[in-house]
Amino acid sequence: MIKVKEPNPIYLEHEGAAHAVLLLHSFTGTVRDVKLLATKLHKAGYTCYVPSYKGHGKMLEDLMAYTIEDWWQDAQDGYAFLQDKGYDKITVLGVSLGGLLSLKFSETKSVHSVIAMSVPYKKDDAGLEMRLEAYGRRMGDILGLDQVEIERQVADIDSYEAGFETFKNVVDNIMIQLPSIQAPIAIKYGKLDEPAYAKSAHYIYEHIAHQHKSLQGYADSKHLMTQGSGREAVEQDILHFLAELQ
């Protein structure tokens, strides 16, 4: 059996920084989703930490050994890591699943500020299954698995029904609690992403009760806003948002 090591978390400490940023990656993604952004923020004077979610970056069957509750714990452990390093001013930033968990942080903990990108306001089994299948085939190719083994792992997605249900319940609960968010928040979406994400961004914005919030779409950005041709505009706006809160 092939053993694949999980990606290591990324810790970029800026000596003398009073402000830290917890960066959270996407579902079926890895720390590489936000590595470029973390590097940019670090150069601008912020300490950055990117936790790796359990099972991500490994074979499909390894990823499906966990659920969103495990990845929420990974995110919380990352937050605690920064607190243990002495930071009490912590911004939580995430893309897709990471954006969902960023919202959950702002609903359950006292965070300095939040940046949520490409966040779904609801999920269905079909979308989650599609992401897992694409992940399984991609990782199978990367690891050089034969087609029989790839198809075996993809077929096992049917057994992840409880994981799908947990994921959907967490999303629903996050959306119910949106009015409780009090931290300054920037909500972002890519205009080249599926139209549902623009609808989701507007829904989240409208259901946050306080006024220290912003909503912005990016003409050149796809779903993974931290990469691709629209990345620099997103980075500059994030830096501006954080600088305004100093």
For residue 65, tell me if it sits in a domain. Answer: yes
Determine the Cα–Cα distance for residues 57 and 136; give it in Å rounded to an integer: 10
Residue % of the chain over a pLDDT of 70 = 99
Residue carrying the six token digits 């936000």? 34
Beta pairing class for 10-12 and 47-50: antiparallel
Q: Of 56, 106, 220, which is closest to residue 236 (Cα–Cα)? A: 220
> Residue 66 above 80 pLDDT?
yes
Which residues sit opposite 92 in a β-bridge? Answer: 22, 114
Residue 3: inside a domain: no
Q: What is the pLDDT of residue 2?
A: 57
Rounded to an integer, what is the distance from CA 59 to the centroid of its chain?
20
SS3 93: strand
- Give me the domain span that covers residue 53: 10-244
Mean pLDDT value of segment 174-185: 97
| pLDDT of 137 above 90 | yes
How far is residue 118's CA from residue 201's CA, in Å, rounded to a whole number? 7
Q: What is the DSSP string of 118-183?
A: S--S---HHHHHHHHHHHHHHHHHHHT--HHHHHHHHHGGGGGHHHHHHHHHHHHHHHHTGGG--S
Of the pLDDT bands very low, low, confident and very high (cuts 50, 70, 90), residue 1 is very low
Rg (CA), the chain: 18
pLDDT score for 6: 79
Q: In this structure, is residue 37 part of a structural domain? A: yes
Sequence-distant (6+) residues with CB within 8 A of 80 are: none
We report the CATH number of the domain holding residue 49 as 3.40.50.1820
Residue 105 within a domain: yes
Which regions of the chain does DSSP assign to beta strands (E)?
10-12, 19-24, 47-50, 89-95, 113-117, 185-190, 213-218
- The answer on pLDDT for 214 being more than 70 is yes
Let me know if residue 136 belongs to a domain.
yes
Give the up-direction half-sphere exposure of residue 209: CA atoms within 13 A in the CB hemisphere: 9
Q: Give the pLDDT mean for 183-187.
A: 97
Query: What are the pLDDT digits (tens) for 23-60?
Result: 999 999 999 999 999 999 999 999 999 999 999 999 99
Does a structural domain hold residue 2?
no
User: Residue 171 and residue 199: Cα distance in Å, rounded?
Assistant: 15
Write out pLDDT tens, residues 138-178: 999 988 899 999 999 999 999 999 999 999 999 999 999 99
Residue 237 DSSP SS3: helix
3-state secondary structure (DSSP) of residue 100 = helix
pTM, to two decimals: 0.96
Both tokens assigned to 185: 């928040």
Mean pLDDT estimate for the chain: 95
Map residue 28 onto helix, strand or coil: coil
In a domain, 118, yes or no: yes
Phi, psi for 236 (deg, rounded to 5): -65, -40
Total domains in the fold of the chain: 1
4 in any annotated domain: no
